[in-house]
Amino acid sequence: MARIALRQLLDHAAEYGYGVPAFNINNMEQIVAIMAAAREADAPVILQASRGARSYAGDIMLTRMVDAAEAMHPDIPICLHQDHGNDEATCLSAIQYGFTSVMMDGSLESDAKTPASYDYNRDITRRVTDLAHAVGVSVEGELGVLGSLETGKGEAEDGHGAEGAVARDLLLTDPDQAVEFVQDTGVDALAIAMGTSHGAYKFSRRPDGDILAIDVVKAINERLPSIHLVMHGSSSVPQELQDEFNRWGGEMPQTWGVPVEEIQTGIRHGVRKVNIDTDCRLVMAAEIRRIATEKKSEFDPRKFLQPSIDALKELCRQRYEAFGAAGQASRLRPLPLAEMARRYRAGTLTPGAPAKDAA
Ligand code: G3H
Ligand code: 13P
Ligand code: ZN
């Protein structure tokens, strides 16, 4: 069995200079596609589940499907990660269900809408980090609020995130405050605000440095060279996918996502985890639409879902290759969580001390 803590995986990614896509999962088809791509690419896997995913599939169903993926692909290290945990209970129940990593997103209050104060964020993240590390589980924190530098608004239109206008100094993570936050909380990975937002409608034009602040990544990486940075809202929403979706009756207005080349620049400057959900949804939905349009008499769900699995597999394979994660799975030997816990206790896994050197 090859379940791996996020910290060990990202330490490896930092050592070898690659990034790991973190794909959101909700159902069997997505897990099957991501794992098939990872096997083909020999890539380590981050499967992440939002609160919405956990309630959609149910914790037991979701985690048993991940158990099955692990049994079917024993040579592929899998990190199971809680995406956007909103409070201690969400993070701790994920750990009870076998997650090896949790995001405590204290950038927002527990309603997941209201921007939180620094002190609130620091305190709740610190509490979760202490508890998670005691059992060897990794923690991702977030500093700064996701939202658009074009409109100055949070991302509530996507169904979650801050509502209305958000101050610009919250929409861009402050590098000096990032140093303080990492020291205060002991997180293993840091999600930052840099102009990305969740969902398909990130930018109204191809993003440049004014609206996608790669400079913030560089500035944080200069001050904190050994913290693992996380880019949320990192779907690329490729033009060809938008066209394919619309070709089969979809109605997606023209939009721009985060270009893969910008993510690659981020990876050269400390980004190790790259969150992708929207692209996976879009590629599957386009295929389902295509079958529904081309084969109007079809009613076997498998005939809709198998092509969507195949298309998602190809998208995931491309991201594994583009981020440099391909070929890395076989170089990793997952440490048991008990060993990770021992290292945290011994103080050898403070931010910046790689797991491999800490034996
Ligand atoms: O956090 C954003 C992810 O895309 C998850 O979305 O909350 O609709 O599952 P969700
Ligand atoms: P996208 O909506 O860009 O895929 O972002 C997903 C994400 O950040 C999940 O936490
Ligand atoms: Zn996110």
Spans of all domains in the chain = 6-342
pLDDT band at 171 (very low <50, low <70, confident <90, very high): very high
Report the separation in Å between the CA atom of 310 and the middle of ligand 1, taken as the mean of its atom positions: 22
pLDDT digits (tens, 9 = 90+) for 297-327: 999 999 999 999 999 999 999 999 999 999 9
pLDDT at 111: 95
Q: Whose alpha carbon is nearest atom 8 of ligand 1?
A: 52
pLDDT at 358: 37
217 lines ligand 2 (CB under 6 A): no
Position 357 pLDDT exceeds 60: no
Report the separation in Å between the CA atom of 258 and the middle of ligand 3, taken as the mean of its atom positions: 13
Position 157 pLDDT exceeds 90: no
Position 349 pLDDT exceeds 80: yes
CATH superfamily, region 6-342: Aldolase class I (3.20.20.70)
Report the separation in Å between the CA atom of 102 and the middle of ligand 2, taken as the mean of its atom positions: 16
Q: Whose alpha carbon is nearest atom 5 of ligand 1?
A: 50
Residue 192, C-beta contacts closer than 8 angstroms, at least 6 positions apart: 142, 143, 144, 173, 178, 216, 217, 220, 229, 230, 231
pLDDT band at 123 (very low <50, low <70, confident <90, very high): very high
**20 vs 43: CA distance, rounded Å:** 9
β partners of residue 165:
153
Q: Strands (DSSP E) along 219-270, which ranges? A: 228-231
Q: Give mean pLDDT, residues 9-36.
A: 98
Pocket test for ligand 2, best of 263, 276, 319 (most atoms within 8 A of CB): 276
Cα dist from 276 to 88, 195, 280, 347, whole Å: 24, 15, 7, 32
Report the separation in Å between the CA atom of 53 and the middle of ligand 3, taken as the mean of its atom positions: 13
pLDDT at 285: 98
pLDDT band at 76 (very low <50, low <70, confident <90, very high): very high
pLDDT digits (tens, 9 = 90+) for 82-104: 999 999 999 999 999 999 999 99
State which ligand 1 atom lies nearest to the alpha carbon of 278: 4
Q: At 104, phi and psi to the nearest 5?
A: -100, 100
Position 265 pLDDT exceeds 80: yes
pLDDT at 212: 97
pLDDT band at 351 (very low <50, low <70, confident <90, very high): confident
199 lines ligand 2 (CB under 6 A): yes
Q: Whose alpha carbon is nearest atom 1 of ligand 2?
A: 233
Pocket test for ligand 2, best of 234, 236, 281, 315 (most atoms within 8 A of CB): 234
pLDDT band at 238 (very low <50, low <70, confident <90, very high): very high
Assess contact for 266 and 52: CB atoms under 8 A.
Answer: no
pLDDT at 80: 98
Instruction: Tell me 31's DSSP state.
Output: H
Assess contact for 234 and 258: CB atoms under 8 A.
Answer: yes
State which ligand 1 atom lies nearest to the alpha carbon of 26: 9
pLDDT at 109: 96
Task: List ligand 1's pocket residues with C-beta within 6 A.
Answer: 24, 50, 52-53, 83-84, 159-160, 198, 277
pLDDT at 160: 74
**9 vs 108: CA distance, rounded Å:** 27
Question: How many residues would you count in the chain?
Answer: 359
Report the separation in Å between the CA atom of 24 and the middle of ligand 2, taken as the mean of its atom positions: 8
Residues by chain with Cβ below 5 Å of ion ligand 3: 232, 275
198 lines ligand 2 (CB under 6 A): yes
Catalytic residue ranges:
83
State which ligand 2 atom lies nearest to the alpha carbon of 257: 3
Pocket test for ligand 1, best of 30, 47, 50 (most atoms within 8 A of CB): 50
Pocket test for ligand 1, best of 277, 278, 281, 282 (most atoms within 8 A of CB): 277
Residue 180, C-beta contacts closer than 8 angstroms, at least 6 positions apart: none
Report the separation in Å between the CA atom of 79 and the middle of ligand 3, taken as the mean of its atom positions: 16
Report the separation in Å between the CA atom of 23 and the middle of ligand 2, taken as the mean of its atom positions: 8
| pLDDT, mean over the chain | 96
β partners of residue 47:
23, 80
CB atoms closer than 10 angstroms to residue 176 = 10
pLDDT at 158: 66
